[in-house]
Chains A and B, each alone.
Chain A
């Protein structure tokens, strides 16, 4: 069972470069989320998608964009990476707001 799959697992970017973090789930879930986790802190919500075709900002959306490509896939894009975006990024999915959430293994991003 794949669950939630994130690619890549590791990435190093130079300041100003762009990249897209990929997330796919095979559980036919409606809702998908992107979180970031910084040392000593909990997870903070960047963007979420309650259902296919919709996306909304979370608490720390600046510097990011997202695309809900289809029901399975939810990508996170950094248009111009900054050192402050060095973090571990987690994608999560759930059937809806009233069900268990499942997380991917994370993408460790370093911006130099």
Chain B
């Protein structure tokens, strides 16, 4: 089971780019990197996943170097509504780590965006 390490918190101002780096040194060959976002008083929701290089969608970009031992979630031009906890998961394509369909969440990174 690949362990992930990410910063506990990050502060940003509106309009800035936020980059959250997740370390996963013992990622397995078949593992994907998946990120979830959790707003206050809500459950987590999937935002992006990738295996290597770069993935971009309407919410974020995910950068994965060739050695895949880390990944960086990039949130462009953040707004107040991007204040949330962001979780990095390593597992199958949806972040699952076992046959139960279990999602292994760590403590995540609390991102606070201020005006």
Q: Residues of A at under 8 Å CB distance from B?
A: 4, 31, 33, 35, 40-43, 45, 48, 50, 56, 58, 90-92, 94, 96-106
Contacts and interface: CB of A to CB of B under 8 A. Distances in A.
3 smallest beta-carbon distances between A and B, as pairs? A103-B43, A42-B105, A97-B101
A48 B101 contact: yes
Interface stretch (B16-24, B76-84, B91-99): B91-99
B94 A101 contact: yes
Contact of A100 (B94, B100, B105): B94
Interface of B: 41-46, 87, 92-96, 99-108
A83 B103 CA distance: 26
12 contacts: A42-B105, A45-B100, A48-B100, A92-B103, A94-B94, A98-B94, A99-B94, A101-B94, A101-B103, A105-B41, A105-B42, A105-B43
Contacts of A98: 92-94, 96
Grouping DSSP codes into helix (H, G, I), strand (E, B) and loop, the B interface class, with mixed when no group exceeds half, is loop
B96 A106 contact: no
Given A97-B96, A98-B93, A99-B94, A43 B44 contact: yes
A45 B101 CA distance: 10
B101 A33 contact: yes
A42 B108 contact: yes
Contact of A58 (B87, B96, B100, B105): B100
A5 to B, nearest CB: 11
A37 B79 CA distance: 26
A52 B52 CA distance: 36
B26 to A, nearest CB: 18
A97 B103 contact: no
Contact of B107 (A40, A91, A106): A40
B107 A42 contact: yes
A40 B105 CA distance: 11
A45 B102 CA distance: 7
Contacts of A91: 43
A91 B96 CA distance: 16
A56 B102 CA distance: 12
